[in-house]
Structure 1
Amino acid sequence: MLPRQHLSRLEAVIFDVDGTLVDSERDGHRVAFNAAFEEAGLPDRWEVATYGKLLKITGGAKRLTFWFENTGRSPVEARELGERLHKRKTHFMLRLVEDGHVQARPGAHQLIDRLEASGVQLHVATTGTRAWVEPLLNQAFGNRFHTVITGTEVSELKPSPAVYLEVLSRTGCPPERAVAVEDSANGVQAAVAARLRCLAAHNPYTRNDDLSGATLVADGLDDPALLAWFTTACGAWRATTHD
């Protein structure tokens, strides 16, 4: 159980996107990166396990730059190639989104429905590019989120708390009255650095991440423990708003 002083304060939930709201990494981003490699005539390919290791680096352009630097390119060439291919990768990712290949994680729709019915505001804080994040959210969930901040607006990527601080600034919500939902160590660190409570719903790629900073670590968005946490917190919030 949560202390009463915490139970009465939930006004907003801030979701990460990749690996949290949607299953986008293995069969979304990884596929798009490989398509960009192939289009450019490069021999590079990211297998499932390889991509899992590269996910420790947030931001697609930085991930590409790291890869190229560690596969024989000079730092200057790696950065230029990374930035150029990331633009093409975004194009391929958008096509995957439009074709319906990126789906919501199990339980995502039900959780959002429950939170919305409780009167809690829903926001997004992601380091993904708005060019594909916005179409994905609209296609997968409709117009459900009040505020969406992406890596296009905030240059400092997670584990920096910048994207979360921007959401809090724009909404005017105090951090003690919000909770973040994340899936990875970088995401949890970013949320905690923004003074947010964080619920971690890990996925196969982040199952072994250090999520010790989270208030709760769950097996997914449909985990009974995570749902019970929200049921209690939202119930207390409704009670205080109707006193």
Structure 2
Amino acid sequence: MSRLAAVVWDVDGTLAETERDGHRVAFNLAFEALGLPWRWDVARYGELLTVTGGRERLLRDMGIHAEAPALLSEREALARRLHERKNQFYAELVHGGAITLRPGVVGLMAQCADRGVRMALATTTSRTNVAALLRVHLGARWAAWFDVIVCGEDVCHKKPDPEVYLQALAGLRLGPLQTLAIEDSPVGAAAARAAEVPVVVTRSVYFEQATFDDSIAIGPGLHDRAGWRPVLHGARDDEPVSLDDLTDWHAQMDSVSQFS
């Protein structure tokens, strides 16, 4: 049995509820800034989350808008402009305090740091957006918390492709069963599993009812122990998920057929 040596974190939806209250709002501000009548409400943005990557979501959505450019090259240029403006607005929202880290995240990260469990980020959002979020919440030296950081611009293929996890594993110089991924979405969990990394799912707002395959644990958040499968014992329900819990789940993963 492999010892848990590293925790690999997703960002959007996992570290913070960035999608609904951050990226979606910033996209709408970018549409307005460029004089476009498009707006993404909560439901529509949820539908677009099946597409990984901001520019990719823009290109998908342009297919239903008569105002969108006819040529693919022009659509791609517009998507780049919109995405750049969106990232600027997103950073402003983060700095303005509109987006906080999910409860339980910082405490679990601190336990990893204190006990020598390495950490990595494996996300297909941009490095600019990651830095904007974590500089506010972890400080100017936020990157020092992580041994490896793989972002959207570092990969050719975004989740559910496993490339982001394969790069993280290569950077950590660890085998997949020495690590554990924390994800919030079916697409992210699928990417980790395709790299043979065991997955703990902490459901986010957009994926409260989603179906997940092959996770070693799944629950509503790291902030309390109620509602998790496998059931958590040994503390009050209102206490957070701990590194000991992750270690126990990781140790029990051989009981799940795909890890045998």
Could you state the TM-score of these two structures normalised by the residue count of structure 2?
0.83
Q: Do the aligned residues in 1 keep the contact of 2:104 with 2:241 (CA within 8 Å)?
A: no
Give the 3 Å change call, closer, same or farther, for CA 233–97 of structure 1 in structure 2: closer
Bigger RCO of structures 1 and 2 (CA < 8 A, at least 6 apart): 1
How far apart are residue 184 of structure 1 and its match?
0.2
Q: Give the AA of the match of 1:102.
A: I
Q: Take 2:89 and 2:246, find their aligned partners in 1: how far apart are those partners?
A: 40
How far apart are residue 146 of structure 1 and its match?
2.0
Paired-residue identity, %: 39
Deviations 1:9-42 (A, max 9, x none): 1000000000001121111001110010000111
Q: From 9, 15, 18, give the equivalent of 1:24.
A: 18
- Aligned runs of 1:2-41 on 2, under 5 Å? 5=1, 8-41=2-35
Q: From 114, 119, 140, give the equivalent of 1:117.
A: 114
Q: Take 1:169 and 1:162, find their aligned partners in 2: how far apart are those partners?
A: 10
Q: Please, what is the CA RMSD of the aligned residues?
A: 2.0
Q: 1:179 aligns to what?
A: 180
- Secondary structure of the equivalent of 2:221? coil
Deviations 1:83-119 (A, max 9, x none): 2211111111122222222210011112112222221
Q: From 26, 34, 38, give the equivalent of 1:44.
A: 38
- Secondary structure of the equivalent of 1:103? coil
Q: Take 1:202 and 1:58, find their aligned partners in 2: how far apart are those partners?
A: 17
Q: Take 1:121 and 1:137, find their aligned partners in 2: how far apart are those partners?
A: 17
Q: Do the aligned residues in 2 keep the contact of 1:159 with 1:189 (CA within 8 Å)?
A: yes
Q: Do the aligned residues in 1 keep the contact of 2:182 with 2:200 (CA within 8 Å)?
A: yes
Q: Give the AA of the match of 2:37.
A: P
Could you list the runs of 5+ residues in structure 1 that have no partner in the other structure? Answer: 238-243
Matched, 1:129 2:95: no
How far apart are residue 140 of structure 1 and its match?
1.4
Q: Do the aligned residues in 2 keep the contact of 1:97 with 1:132 (CA within 8 Å)?
A: no
Give the 3 Å change call, closer, same or farther, for CA 24–84 of structure 1 in structure 2: same
How far apart are residue 82 of structure 1 and its match?
1.6
Q: Take 1:23 and 1:236, find their aligned partners in 2: how far apart are those partners?
A: 24
Give the 3 Å change call, closer, same or farther, for CA 190–162 of structure 1 in structure 2: same
Give the 3 Å change call, closer, same or farther, for CA 195–41 of structure 1 in structure 2: same
Deviations 1:66-90 (A, max 9, x none): 0011223335143332222111111
- Secondary structure of the equivalent of 2:205? coil
Q: 2:59 aligns to what?
A: 65
